[in-house]
């Protein structure tokens, strides 16, 4: 009788993603060393897999920036220059490949930034149209929505469990399904293998819509796929980037959008606490317990105190274009 054979673990992929230069997004109202957002080069030109001029999906970057500027969906764009004269011409579902871009909000060179997810107001009925509603999927299973594995599967929340107060304040139960439309309703949940759920909750990837091209054919509408957000996810990138996500509920679009904002606004924190005065949009509670969103001008010290240790600061209301 032959002895059983042993085999080595799979060979780890080369960390190609980490070796690439990131794409930088800057705010035109602040010094160039103040980075608004950073994106790894995870997409290939025109989203064709065998093309190796890497960048990042234009639409994903644009909506991320628009969220940081308080849902500036109708009057903003990316530019190659600080003045906004060299507007990006890349199609929405094309790939940005330059080293840096400026995010421009027309008429507001010092537009305010949302400093945290808790300060962000969900844009009811204003999500960009290309974030298309999901189709009904009759083959929904409890297998992992990314790997299709049936073992070690857990249910991840799209709007995270710890954001129950935000969920309630923003009336997200409107998009729920079933008799109880709280944060645990099935529309806000997605089966993921435990390791994939861990990196999802660590903000390593998001789920966004993209249109893919194969030769001259275009697949419509967009498909909801994984998008790697950090270079630390280099081991995931070869197999789990641009993966079509299964088992999404057809009414999950709004929860996916909120999850995207939750991931993006965590990254904005480094811009917020960078030590400089900032114009920010903050959620405040009025004397009669109403919720309002106000533009405030906070010093670097106030912002560090507020968002470095998750407390609140007293910023003075000001015009968005004040120096």
Residue 200 lies in a domain: yes
pLDDT value, residue 204: 98
Rounded average pLDDT over 54-61: 97
Rounded average pLDDT over 165-173: 97
Residue 315 lies in a domain: no
| Full-model pTM | 0.90
The pLDDT confidence band at residue 322, using thresholds 50, 70 and 90, is very low
Residue 26 pLDDT greater than 80, yes or no: yes
Ranges 7-21, 133-147, 169-183, 220-234: which has the least confidence: 7-21
Residue 71 lies in a domain: yes
Instruction: Print the domain residue range for 181.
Output: 15-109+138-274
Residue 302 lies in a domain: no
Residue 116 lies in a domain: no
Name the residue with tokens 């399904």: 177
Residue 206 pLDDT greater than 90, yes or no: yes
Residue 127 lies in a domain: no
Ranges 113-117, 212-216, 228-232, 247-251: which has the least confidence: 212-216
The pLDDT confidence band at residue 312, using thresholds 50, 70 and 90, is very low
Q: Pull the structure tokens for residue 280.
A: 């920010």
Residue 198 lies in a domain: yes
Residue 126 Cα distances to 2, 94, 202, 261, 289, angstroms: 66, 23, 27, 14, 25
Residue 313 pLDDT greater than 70, yes or no: no
* Burial (Cβ within 10 Å: 0-12, 13-18, ≥19) of residue 207: buried
Residue 44 lies in a domain: yes
Rounded average pLDDT over 165-171: 97
pLDDT value, residue 50: 57
Torsion angle, CA of 133/88/20/198, rounded to 10 degrees?
-20
Distance CA 240, CA 187 (A): 23
Residue 309 pLDDT greater than 70, yes or no: no
pLDDT value, residue 278: 95
Q: Pull the structure tokens for residue 112.
A: 């305010």
- Beta carbons of 151 and 191 less than 8 angstroms apart: no
Rounded average pLDDT over 78-83: 97
Residue 310 pLDDT greater than 60, yes or no: no
Q: Report the percent of the chain where pLDDT is more than 70.
A: 89
Q: How many domains does the chain have?
A: 1
Chain mean pLDDT for the chain = 89
- Residue 62 parent element (H or E): helix 58-68
Q: Pull the structure tokens for residue 184.
A: 């645990």
pLDDT value, residue 178: 78
pLDDT value, residue 218: 54
């Amino acid at each position: 009788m032959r002895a059983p054979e042993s085999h080595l673990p799979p060979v780890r992929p080369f960390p190609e993603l980490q070796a690439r230069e990131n794409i930088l997004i800057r705010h035109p109202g602040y010094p160039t060393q103040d980075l608004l957002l950073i994106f790894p080069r995870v997409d290939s030109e025109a989203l064709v897999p065998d093309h190796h001029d890497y960048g990042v999906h234009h639409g994903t970057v644009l909506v991320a920036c628009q969220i940081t500027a308080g849902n500036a969906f109708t009057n903003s764009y990316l530019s190659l220059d600080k003045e906004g004269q060299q507007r990006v011409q890349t199609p929405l579902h094309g790939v940005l490949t330059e080293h840096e871009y400026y995010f421009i909000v027309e008429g507001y060179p010092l537009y305010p930034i949302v400093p945290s997810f808790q300060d962000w107001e969900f844009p009811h009925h204003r999500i960009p149209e290309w974030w298309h509603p999901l189709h009904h999927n009759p083959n929904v299973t409890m297998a992992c929505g990314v790997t299709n594995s049936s073992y070690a599967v857990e249910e991840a929340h799209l709007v995270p469990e710890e954001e129950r107060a935000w969920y309630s304040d923003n009336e997200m139960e409107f998009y729920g399904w079933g008799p109880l439309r709280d944060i645990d309703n099935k529309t806000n949940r997605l089966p993921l293998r435990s390791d994939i759920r861990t990196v999802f909750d660590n903000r390593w990837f998001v789920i966004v819509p993209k249109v893919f091209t194969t030769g001259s054919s275009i697949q419509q509408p967009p498909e909801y796929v994984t998008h790697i957000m950090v270079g630390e996810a280099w081991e995931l990138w070869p197999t789990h980037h641009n993966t079509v996500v299964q088992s999404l509920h057809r009414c999950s679009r709004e929860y996916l959008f909120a999850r995207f904002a939750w991931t993006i606004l965590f990254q904005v924190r480094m811009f917020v606490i960078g030590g400089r005065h900032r114009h920010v949009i903050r959620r405040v509670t009025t004397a009669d317990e109403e919720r309002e969103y106000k533009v405030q001008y906070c010093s670097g010290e106030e912002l560090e105190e507020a968002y470095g240790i998750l407390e609140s600061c007293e910023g003075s209301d000001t015009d968005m274009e004040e120096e």
